[in-house]
Chains A and B, each alone.
Chain A
């Protein structure tokens, strides 16, 4: 069983109110060193067998059509999960 990992982030110029809320909470816990927080999304798609180039191409297509909105988001990474990486953990 293989996994394709897709990361989506809001475009840098789009306001991220959720990231700002997290950023506002950090100093209250004593984390003063972080000047900004941006929050994104990770999708893990499971396939039978090893991840092939065709799986990755289909995942890129799905990422553009459904998993992201190109008006406000960038698909920053589409990759096969490494053998030593369990994306469900």
Chain B
């Protein structure tokens, strides 16, 4: 199975995402923002970082990169896509996921081990978790406040599209403590915390990042 990781100008965590893909036995493929070519991959990760310096709005300029012209229809057609941190912001700006991310309510940059509750273990990226499972993943961002209007939030809750919720205190003012969401089909998932940093003993607070990558691998095997 091939999993692509897109590098935008200002991406930071693309190498860690490629490494996580390799760690679970899949083939990592580097994708370039300037190429409208997904190189035949079976899934795509949009990594963390500060694409285009977060100019205009986080993810707003990356959303119009040539690679997105190929990725958006593929995602709408069912390709598994995971957006981590800045990648989540890109997916929201692309309208592949509902809502938007704004500056943390306390205006400080977070860099913490964050507890999360898995609310939906049936997406392409969460099937190796149990619904209700509590995990700990690192969270590091300045603009992680998830916002959407009340009707959208109610719909997300009703349809099971809230995938992760912050446990304990809300680290950034996200509405309804939402840390990650999915689309209606469950193939596109975005979250602010960083599973790719939690895949190896001695680095990060847990190995709770691994199931993200094994989940999508299992999906490809069974497809």
Contact B105 A15 (CB under 8 A): yes
Contact B102 A14 (CB under 8 A): yes
Contact B107 A14 (CB under 8 A): no
Interface core residue of A10, A13, A72 (most chain B CB under 10 Å): A72
* Per-residue contact bits, chain A 27-43, to B (CB 8 Å; 1 contact, 0 not): 00000000000000000
**B99-151 interface with A by 8 A CB criterion:** 99-100, 102-107, 145, 147-149
Q: Any chain A CB within 8 A of the CB of B57?
A: yes
Write out the residue numbers on chain B whose beta carbons fall within 8 Å of the beta carbon of A72.
100, 102, 147
Given contacts A66-B60, A69-B57, A69-B60, contact A17 B107 (CB under 8 A): yes
Number of residues from A at the complex interface, CB < 8 A = 13
Contact B56 A15 (CB under 8 A): no
Interface core residue of A10, A20, A69 (most chain B CB under 10 Å): A69
Q: Any chain A CB within 8 A of the CB of B211?
A: no
Q: How distant is the Cα of A13 from the Cα of B153 in the complex, in angstroms?
A: 14
Q: How distant is the Cα of A69 from the Cα of B173 in the complex, in angstroms?
A: 19
Q: How distant is the Cα of A67 from the Cα of B145 in the complex, in angstroms?
A: 20
Q: How distant is the Cα of A21 from the Cα of B102 in the complex, in angstroms?
A: 15
Q: Any chain A CB within 8 A of the CB of B208?
A: no
* Per-residue contact bits, chain A 60-88, to B (CB 8 Å; 1 contact, 0 not): 00000011010110000000000000000
Q: Any chain B CB within 8 A of the CB of A18?
A: yes
Q: Any chain A CB within 8 A of the CB of B92?
A: yes
Write out the residue numbers on chain B whose beta carbons fall within 8 Å of the beta carbon of A21.
107
Q: How distant is the Cα of A15 from the Cα of B4 in the complex, in angstroms?
A: 35
Query: Which A positions have Cβ atoms within 8 angstroms of B?
Result: 10, 13-15, 17-18, 20-21, 66-67, 69, 71-72
- Give 6 A-B contacts (CB < 8 Å), ordered by A residue: A10-B102, A14-B147, A15-B145, A66-B64, A69-B60, A72-B100
3 A-B pairs closest in CB distance:
A71-B100, A17-B103, A72-B100
